[in-house]
Amino acid sequence: MRKLFVFISLILSLGVLAQESKTKPDVDMDKFITELMGKMTLEEKIGQLHQISGGDVVSGELSSEGNKVAQQIRKGGVGSMLNAKGVEKVKALQDVAMKESRLKIPLMFAMDVIHGYETAFPVPLAMASTWNLEQIEAMARTAAIEASADGVCWTFSPMVDITRDPRWGRIVEGAGEDPFLGGEIAKAMVKGYQGEPGYATNTQIMACVKHFALYGAPDAGRDYHTVDMSRLRMYNDYFNPYKAAVEAGAETVMSSFNEVDNIPATANKWLLDDVLRKQWGFEGLVVTDYASINDLVRHGIGDPVSTTIRALEAGTDIDMEAYAYHYMLPEAVKTGKVSIKLIDQACRRVLEAKYKLGLFENPYKYCDVTRPSKDFFTKEHRAKARQAAGESFVLLKNENNLLPLKKNSKIAVIGPHGNNRPMMLGPWFYPHDIYRAATVVEGLKEVSGGQAEILYARGCQPFESEEYARRVYFGKEFEKDNRSDEEILTEALDVAGKADIVVATLGESTEMSGESSSRSNLDLPKPQQELLKALVATGKPIVLVLFTGRPLTINWEKKNLSAILNVWFGGTEAAYAIGDVLFGDVNPSGKLTSSWPQNVGQLPLYYNYKNTGKPMDKWFQKFRSGYLDVSNEPLFPFGYGLSYTRFDYGDVKLSANKMNEKGRLTATVTVTNSGDRDGYEVVQLYIRDVAASIIRPLKELKGFQKVFIKAGQSVDIDFEIIPELLKFYNYDLNYVCEPGDFEVMIGCNCEQLKSAKFTLVESM
Query: Phi/psi zone of residue 358: left (φ > 0), alpha (ψ -120 to 50 degrees), beta?
Result: left
Q: What DSSP string describes 317-350?
A: -BEES--HHHHHHHHHHHTTSS-HHHHHHHHHHH
Residue 210 binds ligand BGC, judged by CB under 6 A: yes
Query: Which amino acid belongs to residue 555?
Result: N
Give the residue with the Cβ less far from ligand BGC, 224 or 556: 224
| Smallest separation (angstroms) from ligand BGC to the CB of 60 | 5
Residue 59 binds ligand BGC, judged by CB under 6 A: yes
| Smallest separation (angstroms) from ligand BGC to the CB of 227 | 14
Give the residue with the Cβ less far from ligand BGC, 151 or 443: 151
x-marked contacts with ligand BGC along 243-282 as a string, rule CB under 6 A: ----------------------------------------
| 8-state DSSP, 159 | B
| Smallest separation (angstroms) from ligand BGC to the CB of 154 | 11
Count of other CB atoms within 10 angstroms of residue 106 = 25
Give the residue with the Cβ less far from ligand BGC, 58 or 232: 58
Give the residue with the Cβ less far from ligand BGC, 127 or 701: 127
Is 289 labeled as catalytic in the residue annotation?
yes
Peptide bond before residue 604 is cis, with ω within 30 degrees of 0: yes
C-alpha–C-alpha distance, residues 61 and 513, integer Å:
19
Give the residue with the Cβ less far from ligand BGC, 288 or 308: 288
Helix (H) or strand (E) holding 16: helix 15-20
Q: Are 311 and 266 in contact (CB under 8 A)?
A: yes
Q: Are 172 and 426 in contact (CB under 8 A)?
A: yes
Residue 112 binds ligand BGC, judged by CB under 6 A: yes
Helix (H) or strand (E) holding 466: helix 466-473
Give the residue with the Cβ less far from ligand BGC, 166 or 579: 166
| Smallest separation (angstroms) from ligand BGC to the CB of 527 | 30
Q: What is each CA distance from 753 to 491, 640, 685, 690, 743, in whole angstroms?
A: 47, 12, 9, 16, 11
| Smallest separation (angstroms) from ligand BGC to the CB of 254 | 6
For residue 755, what are the β-bridge partners? 745
Give the residue with the Cβ less far from ligand BGC, 156 or 239: 156
Residue 290 binds ligand BGC, judged by CB under 6 A: yes
Give the residue with the Cβ less far from ligand BGC, 151 or 525: 151
Residue 515 binds ligand BGC, judged by CB under 6 A: yes
| Smallest separation (angstroms) from ligand BGC to the CB of 550 | 17
For residue 566, what are the β-bridge partners? 394, 546
Query: Which amino acid belongs to residue 102?
Result: R
For residue 709, what are the β-bridge partners? 679
C-alpha–C-alpha distance, residues 208 and 185, integer Å:
14
| 8-state DSSP, 170 | G
C-alpha–C-alpha distance, residues 654 and 256, integer Å:
43
Residue 346 binds ligand BGC, judged by CB under 6 A: no
| Smallest separation (angstroms) from ligand BGC to the CB of 245 | 15
Q: Are 98 and 104 in contact (CB under 8 A)?
A: yes
| Smallest separation (angstroms) from ligand BGC to the CB of 251 | 15
| Smallest separation (angstroms) from ligand BGC to the CB of 610 | 31
Give the residue with the Cβ less far from ligand BGC, 156 or 463: 156
Dihedrals phi, psi of 566, to nearest 5 degrees: -85, 120
Dihedrals phi, psi of 211, to nearest 5 degrees: -105, 115
Q: How many residues bind ligand BGC (CB under 6 A)?
A: 9
Residue nearest to ligand BGC (CB): 59
Dihedral sign from CA coordinates of 282, 287, 293, 296: negative
Give the residue with the Cβ less far from ligand BGC, 69 or 457: 69
Q: Using the rule CB under 6 A, which residue among 178, 289, 391, 508 binds ligand BGC? A: 289
Q: Are 739 and 761 in contact (CB under 8 A)?
A: yes
Catalytic pick from 161, 237, 289, 295? 289
| Smallest separation (angstroms) from ligand BGC to the CB of 754 | 40
| Smallest separation (angstroms) from ligand BGC to the CB of 120 | 17
Q: What DSSP string describes 21-49?
A: TPPPP-HHHHHHHHHHHHH--HHHHHHHT
Give the residue with the Cβ less far from ligand BGC, 430 or 547: 430
Residue 391 binds ligand BGC, judged by CB under 6 A: no
User: For 189-340, where are the E strands, in sequence order?
Assistant: 208-212, 252-255, 259-260, 263-264, 285-287, 319-320
Dihedrals phi, psi of 561, to nearest 5 degrees: -110, 150
Residues 462-495: b if buried by 16+ CB within 10 A, e if exposed:
bbeeeeebeebbeeeebeeeeeeeeebbebbbeb
| Smallest separation (angstroms) from ligand BGC to the CB of 133 | 23
Q: Are 309 and 337 in contact (CB under 8 A)?
A: yes
Give the residue with the Cβ less far from ligand BGC, 184 or 515: 515
Q: Using the rule CB under 6 A, which residue among 47, 54, 60, 679 binds ligand BGC? A: 60
Q: What DSSP string describes 503-569?
A: EEEEE--TTSSSTT---S--SPPHHHHHHHHHHHHTT--EEEEEE-SS----HHHHHH-SEEEE---
Query: Which amino acid belongs to residue 277?
Result: R
User: Binders of ligand BGC among 129-158, rule CB under 6 A?
Assistant: 156
Helix (H) or strand (E) holding 87: helix 87-95
Residue 82 binds ligand BGC, judged by CB under 6 A: yes
Q: What is each CA distance from 133 to 170, 175, 638, in whole angstroms?
A: 21, 12, 18
Which amino acids are annotated catalytic? 289
Instruction: Return residues touching ligand BGC (CB under 6 A).
Output: 59-60, 82, 112, 156, 210, 289-290, 515
